[in-house]
Amino acid sequence: MIELHDLALDAPDGRLLVQGLGLQVPRGGNQLLTGPGGWGKSRLLKVIAGIERPARGTVRVGGRQLWPGDGVLSLIGQVRLGFAFAAGGLLSNLTLRENVALPLRFQGVPPVELRQRTEAALDRLGLLAVADLRPHAVGVSARKHGNLARVLALQPHLLLLDDPLEGLDAEDRAIALELVEGWAADPACTLVIAAEAPDAFTHLEAERLQLSPAPVESP
Amino acid sequence: MAFLARLGAPVRGFLEFLGDQAHLVLRTLRHALLLRLDQLAVVGGQMKLQIRFTGLDALWLVSGTALLLGAVTLIQAFSQLSGLGAENYIGALMVLIILRELGPLLTAVLVIGRSATAIAAELGAMQLNGEVDALAAHGVNPYQYLLLPRWLGVLVSVFALVVFFDAMALGGGFLVAKLKYGVTFGFYMDSVRQALSNRDFTATLLKVALFSGAITFHACHFGLRIQHSQTEIPQAVTKTVVSALVAVFALDGLIAALLYF
């Protein structure tokens, strides 16, 4: 499902984060990316999703070349992708319900099924009470759950989760973890998780990759 | 060599900007052709929002400005041409000054001030908040969801606003002509109709199409280029206003040269 070859990532300030990275995640496989903050985990997820360009290297997802190439535009309509962002990512002028429903509406899902999938996802994440509020009007955990609800309703083949448990209290954490474990057990889902503190995922059956900073080149 | 490089840098920057604009327009057109029927409702909904903000909400502002401008134009004209049979030139004056030039131009300026700034700021904020990335990652094509409906919305709005502007300016002019010279509505409209030609309609339609494209894509270009911090948003808005104004005036000059020179 995911093939990375000789990948190099740089930070916005030009500092090299990752160099010469090769990675293959088979269809239905689970991959856990770990490492301290600022070492390129989130950036790597965005490169795999095709929304950020790597400094070097090739990225193929679902048999389609993203980089070098058109990035995420090559995936639209080809690979159903769900991305739970660590922060932001929900449209601020839409309610949580509309945020969850938008990708489905754009996919052309029939209205009855759209409503069922949206409501089921919001219910599963405990968001029905705040579903008609916009992201700025709800707390951090509701925004994070909103991201997960959007992914859940989409029923994607490839899931990219950026620190899905960070900043959640015990109850919200349990809901999110149960959902992640369900995806990890589903052979139709390819799962990539980036986590700064991977302790919560110790019992998850997944390949692990510890990102380490690229060596600083001497002048 | 350094001197030549200093001379060449702005030219290169300008050509790159033109290239970016062309790229944005062509990509939006290409993705517009890929729209499926079941996606039209979503895109149409966004377009309606844009029409409401750019067109409907600006109606009173444009109407008031046009009414005053039409009246002031004839007051000034009469003050200069009184005794020379000014009432015979009413139609030609209104067509030359308002319908041909000021109608589309001032409408574009008002739309730049109200809507281009809003589009640039909104897209910039969306970019910073990761919303544009999130849309694309979840299969919602940003060209189809963000750019196309804004372009079409501004196009429809600018067309409607120019028609309103012209109508209200003619109304303002008529009020002055009636009060000053007792001109009848029939005489006034005949005079305007005689001065109007098909070329004026062509020029207006051309201006509406080109101005709305320039306004939207300048705003989208500067808004979507925001990457790092919120302090970039006011800078992008300022660049949008300056750049879109220059583009609109340049296009206006080009159309005048092509059609009337």
Q: What is the pLDDT of residue A214?
A: 63
My answer on whether A170 and A151 are in the same domain is: no
Question: Residue A103 in contact with residue A146, Cβ under 8 Å?
Answer: no
Question: Residue A6 in contact with residue A22, Cβ under 8 Å?
Answer: yes
My answer on whether A13 and A69 are in the same domain is: yes
Q: Do B139 and A107 touch (CB under 8 A)?
A: yes
Q: What is the pLDDT of residue B1?
A: 66
DSSP sequence for A21-88: EEEEE-TT-EEEEE--TTSSHHHHHHHHHTSS--SEEEEEETTEEEETTTGGGGTTTTS-EEEE-SS-
The residues spanned by each domain of chain B are 41-260
Interface test with B, best of A51, A64, A76, A109 (most B CBs within 10 A): A76
Q: What is the mean pLDDT of residues A190-199?
A: 89
Which chain B residue is nearest to residue A76, measuring alpha carbons? Answer: B139
Q: Which of B125, B130, B139 sits opposite A80 (nearest CB)?
A: B139
pLDDT range class, residue A217, cuts 50, 70, 90: low
Q: How does the average pLDDT of chain A come out, rounded?
A: 90
Q: Do B136 and A46 touch (CB under 8 A)?
A: no
Sorted by sequence, the CB contacts under 8 Å of residue B44 that are 6+ apart come out as B149
Task: Quote the minimal CA–CA distance from B222 to chain A in Å.
Answer: 19
Q: How far apart are CA A71 and CA B204, in angstroms?
A: 40
* DSSP H or E stretch at residue A110: none
Q: Which of A73, A77, A105 sits opposite B42 (nearest CB)?
A: A105
My answer on whether A7 and A52 are in the same domain is: yes
pLDDT, tens only, A153-182: 999 999 999 999 988 888 999 999 999 999
Q: How far apart are CA A66 and CA A63, in angstroms?
A: 9
pLDDT, tens only, A178-193: 999 999 999 999 999 9
Last residue of a domain, one of A155, A171, A201: A155
Q: What is the pLDDT of residue B61?
A: 95
My answer on whether A101 and A68 are in the same domain is: no
Residue A219 lies in a domain: no
A150 close to B (CB below 8 A)? yes
My answer on whether A11 and A32 are in the same domain is: yes
Q: Do A81 and B133 touch (CB under 8 A)?
A: no
**Domain residue limits at A95:** 90-155
Q: Do A51 and B145 touch (CB under 8 A)?
A: no
pLDDT, tens only, A115-136: 999 999 999 999 999 999 999 9
Residue A96 lies in a domain: yes
Q: Do A51 and B126 touch (CB under 8 A)?
A: no
Q: Do A102 and B138 touch (CB under 8 A)?
A: yes
Q: How far apart are CA B2 and CA B217, in angstroms?
A: 33
* DSSP H or E stretch at residue A61: strand A56-61
Question: Residue A209 in contact with residue A31, Cβ under 8 Å?
Answer: yes
Q: Which of A46, A76, A89 sits opposite B141 (nearest CB)?
A: A76
Q: What is the pLDDT of residue B83?
A: 66
My answer on whether A42 and A149 are in the same domain is: no
The tens-digit pLDDT sequence of chain B (261 residues) is 677 777 788 888 889 999 999 999 999 999 999 999 999 999 999 999 999 999 999 999 999 999 999 999 888 887 777 667 666 778 788 888 889 899 999 999 999 999 999 999 999 999 999 999 999 999 999 999 999 999 999 999 999 999 999 999 999 999 998 998 888 999 989 988 988 899 999 999 999 999 999 999 999 999 999 988 899 999 999 999 999 999 999 999 999 999 988
Last residue of a domain, one of A155, A176, A197: A155
Task: Quote the minimal CA–CA distance from B87 to chain A in Å.
Answer: 53
pLDDT range class, residue A215, cuts 50, 70, 90: low
Q: Do B135 and A92 touch (CB under 8 A)?
A: no
Q: How far apart are CA A21 and CA A8, in angstroms?
A: 7
* DSSP H or E stretch at residue A64: strand A64-67
My answer on whether A100 and A10 are in the same domain is: no
Q: What is the CATH number of the domain that holds A160?
A: 3.40.50.300
Q: Do B145 and A106 touch (CB under 8 A)?
A: yes
Higher pLDDT, A138 or A198: A138
Q: What is the pTM of this model?
A: 0.90
Q: How far apart are CA A150 and CA A66, in angstroms?
A: 23
Domains in chain A, number:
2
My answer on whether A15 and A64 are in the same domain is: yes
My answer on whether A112 and A135 are in the same domain is: yes
Q: What is the pLDDT of residue A219?
A: 47
DSSP sequence for A206-217: -EEEE--PPPPP
My answer on whether A75 and A150 are in the same domain is: no
Query: Rg of chain B over CA atoms, in angstroms?
Result: 21
